[in-house]
Structure 1
Amino acid sequence: MLDPMNRLEGNVALITGGSRGIGAAVAERLAEEGADVVLTYEHGAERAGAVVERIEARGRRALAVRADSAVPAEVTAAVDEAAARFGRLDILVNNAGVFLVGPLEELGPAEIDRTLAVNVRAPFAASRAAVRHMERGGRIISIGSNMAGRAVFPGMALYAMSKTALVGMTKGLARELGPRGVTVNLVHPGPTDTDANPADGPNAETIAGLTAVGRYARAAEIAATVAHLASADGAYITGAAIHVDGGFTA
């Protein structure tokens, strides 16, 4: 019987934006369950290197690749490098994102273009590149946001729009890739304790109060759902948008 903590043995995973926060937690959880891991980063080579070191300390192979998710050629190159270096690609986690918020009048073409490039076009481009390397059993998992289901604060329209677009992408790709044995799913985290959104930061008490459980998530809790979807245990889940948000959207 397969050790449940080695569900991903022999798999290769690519996590975009994997140097910190939810991305780093996902990278380490997939490695803990047996996967070799490639992660991309745009800034923070030291943080990315630290994640690689922690994964290698578990006896898994790991690689950090610098890539700007706003540049399609860099996204595609990172996917191809992952497959070339480790000989295969089984799991893609579209995690990289930008959070540009503000009043409608202050969000101009530059902010719109950047948000859509990173939060929408990059997951599509990475998925398009990844399926060339995936065999049956492949997994594409994108990280959305609770804001796609409940935008309770003003100034969130652009960000919420970009994350909502992933719902359509996920459903469309699930139908297209299902016959090829590749599942496609979306995880919507709620407020999550990271360096970018600390559980003790400004307005954190108000934000936590909007959840049913009254607290922020740990990044590891989001990673646990991603790991389930990435494993054989998640083989019959596809086209789904799963809220791991403590009841924020309930």
Structure 2
Amino acid sequence: MIAFDTEGRELWRDDERGVHASDPLAQCDEGTWRLVTDDHGVLTIRDGLTGEQLGDNDWTAGYTTPVAVRIDNRLALLRVDGAHGIELCTLTGEKIWRRTYDLFSVHPGNSAVLEGVEEPLVAVPLSGGLVDLVRLRDGQLLNTVAVGEQAERRPLLGIGQDLLVGTLAGELVMIDPLSGAERWRQKFGASVVGLAAVVEVGRVYVAISTADGMLRVLSSISAAPWRETKSVGLPTS
């Protein structure tokens, strides 16, 4: 891993640890830039400007994606989408809780964090078309919801107090994350492979990419009207 400044000058490098198989997390908190990476299950927290190691957490072959979350107004690191399960740890890598699953039963899609609900939680996609709703502060399982098999990109999206799930069968499902109840379900002509939220002047739009190359835009998440546009290139988030 190598860090550069905006002029292309090398700031620091680490020839031993890189990033595999997830994106790194860059997070600024109280004036400190942290760079968080997972390399084959070894989580490393660095000062992003100097490369100084601030902490680590070894979950061998975990292959997790680091996500910044707030618990009781304090920043923490959530490790999701791993081969073994999910974990919450401190900014120096100490484990707060860990929830393990059978090997590779966690679906490789992206988990969704919902911080706008009364009890902030993370939605974890599982094989077999299931989604676990797990409380952030202690890792307790609140509900398991059957929605249908999901695509392997970004099939889950948390918006405030709502959870949207896209399926391989081409359905978009709205879930109440606290009760696990299904609010509505809409069927499209092809698998839902991407979900992204766009906020403009306080209004939330949801972009839905499907495997037939179409991009659909929800202008309201309380019901399921949409408008369709032609996609340019492949359907991605």
Relative contact order (alpha carbons < 8 A, sep ≥ 6): 1 or 2 greater?
1
TM-score for both structures, normalised by structure 1: 0.27
Q: Which has the higher strand share?
A: 2
Q: Which has the higher helix share?
A: 1
